[in-house]
Amino acid sequence: MRIAVFGLGYVGTVTAAALASRGHEVCGVDVDVVKVDLIRQGASPVMEPGLGEMVAKGVEQGNLRATTSAVEALDRADVSLLCVGTPSSPRGSTDLTYLRRAIEDIASAMEVAEPPDSGFHAVVVRSTVPPGTGDDVVAPVFAARPVPAGWQVGTGMCPEFLREGSGLADFFDPPFVVLGTADDRVEAVLTGMLGFLEQDVRRVDVRSAEALKYACNAFHATKVSFTNEMSRIFRASGIDSRKVMEIFCEDRILNVSPAYLRPGFAYGGSCLPKDLRALLHMARMNALDVPLLAGVSRTNEICVDDAVERVLAGPSQVVAMLGLSFKMHTDDLRESPNVDLAERLIGKGVEVRIYDPLINPEKLIGANLRHVEARLPHLSRLLTSTPEQALNGCDVAMVATSDHTTVKALCAVRPARVLDLSGRLGADVEELPGYEGIGWAV
């Protein structure tokens, strides 16, 4: 393919050299003459192991060149990859100045450059941009003006996952290849361009592709901060945190895994809340500041606050709560966020009906019994024997269980509002007119 790469910084140079090494004809574009001249001389404008040699080989073979002219780069090109900088503004927002300029350059260049042989050109963003950029910034530029004769344009988002120091290895062995687009032709172009990776292209909507990169980077930053906070706490007790984390990372079932990374409601139960409090106490006793761990508890409280506020924002005189334990397949009510939710709604004067397939007040014992007696002393009066009894006549159903009897009842009764706290209710429930996800849009 003929590929134009806009922006010859770290991402752009790695991308251009890597694609050229696989036989594509790549032209890098940058306003910085120094960067362009370096690539023309067979040198990389950025430091990265192996990149200099790859640039030199690409230039020598004629597969890689550079220019300051968007028209030259776009001539007969099948795809434009936008790898320009998206720095922070003084207030923390993303500055899209370079992206907007590159898009305008592409649109203007189409009026002069020869169209590709196929007549179709894909404009694909690789830079990290806020969700909505593709729909609100990129696509409108090409929709607002007549496309020159011979050109058809489609847009998309294909985020990069390159780490400095291992950029080439990451390019050729990415964790996944994600493309956000509504255009089948863009998918066909990207699939052909990246076919050498031997990975399927995961197609999603544009906003999800844009959001994915932020989720990844925020999680990476969180992992670094989490590990460092734990090390500060453990160091005060004379513990080598490197040994702790070495073993920690061997757990691929819960620790380094998809476990606990599914959007839903607040955590609870007999372990997580109390053990987090214990760690925070250790930190306080040693005059240590651990804001990440302290924020975890507050974030959990906000989950409950949000649910209460969303219920009270509507005409909610009667609430059906389906699921009361802190998670499915257990009757453990200790520090269940659902118990907290019920208690707070009752305190606001809301009539609450509760159905949980595993909760039987007569079988609650020990700490489980003491906890519910302290928070919901009239639990037996609130419980219903079937989900239908809880749902009939309710204003809103708050659903924390995906038990099959619950799902069946929701589809049969069809309450005016369904607030899904689990995210596992399935398509039949999500298609109900009053369906809302606690942390997601559908």
The residues carrying an active-site annotation are: 271
Taken in order 139, 208, 178, 218, is the CA torsion positive or negative?
A: positive
Taken in order 320, 326, 332, 338, is the CA torsion positive or negative?
A: negative
d(CA 415, CA 438): 16
Identity of residue 277: R
d(CA 114, CA 71): 9
Per the CB < 8 A criterion, the answer to whether 423 and 437 are in contact is yes
Taken in order 403, 409, 414, 415, is the CA torsion positive or negative?
A: negative
d(CA 323, CA 355): 6
d(CA 283, CA 135): 46
* Bridge pairing between strands 396-399 and 79-82: unpaired
- Give SS3 for 298: helix
Hey, which residues does 383 pair with through a beta bridge?
354
Residue pointed to by tokens 């291992």:
166
d(CA 12, CA 268): 45
Q: What is the DSSP string of 175-237?
A: S-EEEE-S-HHHHHHHHHHTGGG---EEEE-HHHHHHHHHHHHHHHHHHHHHHHHHHHHHHTT
d(CA 383, CA 390): 8
| Segment (H or E) for 436 | strand 435-437
d(CA 401, CA 425): 8
Q: What is the CA radius of gyration of the chain?
A: 27
Q: Name the token pair of 177.
A: 């290849």
Per the CB < 8 A criterion, the answer to whether 121 and 79 are in contact is yes
